[in-house]
């Protein structure tokens, strides 16, 4: 697993082990190439994990996915590949943490919504959106009084569910006078 390798490199000082003495130039070049190849393999695995998380995180917005370019397009050396790999690993960790944090908030919101549906009078004026519970639609749930001020005075509360997203107007409508 890439994480285990990442941990190992992190503990060892973020660099592959040094070359033993007595190696020829060809041996060193070959060893360097193997290190680069291994780093590329790790980058591929991390990219796959990041892609999976990206899809799983949808429709949550505002999560940072960018890692930053490494001055390419060019052939990266060991140090550059390490930077890319470390940046990907760091981004993966921060994105996982953010998705988990939002997941906890969404779970709390789902519980709040259930309670609100059972007893709207105890959650007066509360508004919960689909985004608050991690869903992709535009629906909202709002605890509102029946018959306006009368319901407010009488304690007649209900949960009103919105009808969804606004209708798309399209480019033609937007450009219309």
Partner 1 sequence: MSPRGDGGLGVDADEAVPESGWVAAELREELPGLDLRYLTLDARTTKSPAHVRARLRTLSDRFAGAQAINLRHQAIPWAYRVFFRHIGLDPDEQPTPVEQLALERMFHGGFVTRNRLDDAIAIAIIESGVALRAFDAAKLSGRLGIRTSAPGEELTRPLAPGTLVVADEQRPIGQLFGDPASGAEPDGRTRRAAIAAVQVRGVPDIAVEEAIWIASNVLRS
Per CB under 8 A, residues contacting partner 1 are 33, 36, 40, 43-44, 47-48, 51-52, 54-55, 58, 65-76, 80-81, 84, 88, 170-171
Nearer to partner 1, 36 or 123 (CB): 36
Residue 55, classified by CB atoms within 10 Å of its CB into exposed (0-12), middle (13-18) or buried (19+), is: exposed
> Residue 3 and residue 9: Cα distance in Å, rounded?
10
Nearer to partner 1, 79 or 119 (CB): 79
Q: Min. distance of Cβ 69 from partner 1 in angstroms?
A: 4
Q: Min. distance of Cβ 42 from partner 1 in angstroms?
A: 10
Distance of CA 171 to the CA centre of its chain: 31
Sheet holding 157-161, edge to edge: 127-129, 140-145, 157-161
Q: Is 125 left (phi over 0), alpha (psi -120 to 50) or beta?
A: left
Nearer to partner 1, 65 or 153 (CB): 65
Nearer to partner 1, 29 or 150 (CB): 29
Q: Min. distance of Cβ 75 from partner 1 in angstroms?
A: 5
């Amino acid at each position: 697993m890439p994480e285990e390798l990442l941990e190992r490199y992190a503990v060892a000082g973020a660099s592959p082990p040094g070359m033993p003495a007595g190696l020829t130039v060809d041996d060193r070049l070959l060893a360097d190439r193997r290190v680069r190849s291994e780093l590329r393999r790790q980058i591929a695995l991390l990219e796959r994990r990041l892609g999976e998380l990206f899809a799983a995180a949808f429709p949550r917005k505002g999560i940072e996915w960018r890692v930053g370019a490494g001055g390419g397009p060019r052939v990266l050396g060991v140090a550059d590949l390490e930077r890319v790999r470390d940046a990907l690993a760091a981004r993966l960790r921060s994105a996982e943490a953010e998705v988990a944090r939002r997941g906890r908030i969404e779970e709390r919101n789902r519980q709040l919504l259930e309670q609100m549906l059972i007893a709207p009078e105890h959650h007066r004026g509360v508004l919960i959106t689909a985004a608050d519970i991690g869903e992709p639609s535009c629906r909202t749930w709002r605890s509102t009084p029946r018959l306006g001020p009368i319901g407010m005075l009488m304690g007649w509360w209900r949960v009103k569910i919105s009808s969804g997203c606004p209708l798309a107007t399209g480019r033609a409508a937007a450009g219309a006078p």
